[in-house]
Structure 1
Amino acid sequence: MTIQWYPGHMEKAKRQVAEQLKRVDAAVELVDARIPFSSRNPMLDQILQDKPRVVVLTKSDMADPDVSAQWLRFYEAQGAEAVTLNALQSKGAKPVIDKAEKVTAPIFDKMKQKGIRPRAIRAMILGIPNVGKSTVINRLVGRKTAKTGDKPGITKAQQWLKVGNKMELLDTPGILWPKFEDQMVGYRLAATGAIKDERLDLEDIALYLTRLLKERYPQALKERYRIEELPADDHDLFTQIGSKRGCLQPGGYVDEEQCAALILREFRDGKLGRLSLETPSDHEEKKDTHASSNAEKSSDIMSRDKDADV
Structure 2
Amino acid sequence: MNIQWYPGHMTKTRRMMEETISLVDIVIELVDARIPYSSKNPDLDTLAKNKHRIILLNKCDLADDRATAIWTDYFEQQGFRVIQMNSLKGTGMNQVTDAARSLMQEKIEKLKARGRINVPIRSMIAGIPNVGKSTFINKYVGKAMTKTGDKPGVTRGKQWIKLKKDFELLDTPGILWPKFEDQEVGLKLAFTGAINDDILDAETLAVSFIDHLLLRNADAIRKRYQIAFDTAAEPHEVLRQIAEARSFKLKGGEPDLARTAKILLDEFRGGKLGRITLELPEDITEMLESKAEREASKATEDKVRKQKFKGKETK
Q: TM-score range by the shorter chain?
A: over 0.9
2:26 matched to 1:33?
no
TM-score by length of 1: 0.92
Change (3 A) 1:184 1:143: same
- What is the aligned-residue RMSD (CA, Å)? 2.3
Unaligned runs of 5+ in 2: 311-315
Partner in structure 1 of residue 277 of structure 2: 276
Q: How many Å separate the matches in 1 of 2:186 and 2:283?
A: 15
Change (3 A) 1:166 1:88: farther
- State the 1:106 CA deviation: 3.0
Partner in structure 2 of residue 259 of structure 1: 260
Partner in structure 2 of residue 49 of structure 1: 49
Q: How many Å separate the matches in 1 of 2:93 and 2:164?
A: 11
Residue pair 2:161, 2:168 contacting (<8 A) in 1 also: yes
Task: Map 1:88-167 onto structure 2 (within 5 A).
Answer: 88-167=88-167
2:237 matched to 1:247?
no
- Count of paired positions: 309
- State the 1:89 CA deviation: 2.5
> Once the two structures are superposed, what CA deviation does each residue of 1:199-240 show, in whole Å capped at 9, x if it has no partner?
111111111111112221111111100013346111111110
* Matched AA of 1:144: A
Percent of residue pairs bearing the same amino acid type: 45
* Matched AA of 2:222: K
- State the 1:180 CA deviation: 0.8
Task: Look up the SS of the partner of 1:2 in the other structure.
Answer: coil
Residue pair 1:128, 1:194 contacting (<8 A) in 2 also: yes
Unaligned runs of 5+ in 1: none
Residue pair 1:191, 1:264 contacting (<8 A) in 2 also: yes
- State the 1:77 CA deviation: 1.4
* Matched AA of 1:44: L
Task: Look up the SS of the partner of 1:289 in the other structure.
Answer: helix
Q: How many Å separate the matches in 2 of 1:146 and 1:8?
A: 21
Task: Look up the SS of the partner of 1:90 in the other structure.
Answer: coil
- State the 1:297 CA deviation: 6.0
Q: How many Å separate the matches in 1 of 2:20 and 2:107?
A: 18
Partner in structure 2 of residue 212 of structure 1: 212
Task: Map 1:55-94 onto structure 2 (within 5 A).
Answer: 55-94=55-94
- State the 1:54 CA deviation: 0.5
> Once the two structures are superposed, what CA deviation does each residue of 1:101-138 show, in whole Å capped at 9, x if it has no partner?
22222332332343322333211100111010011101
Partner in structure 1 of residue 196 of structure 2: 196
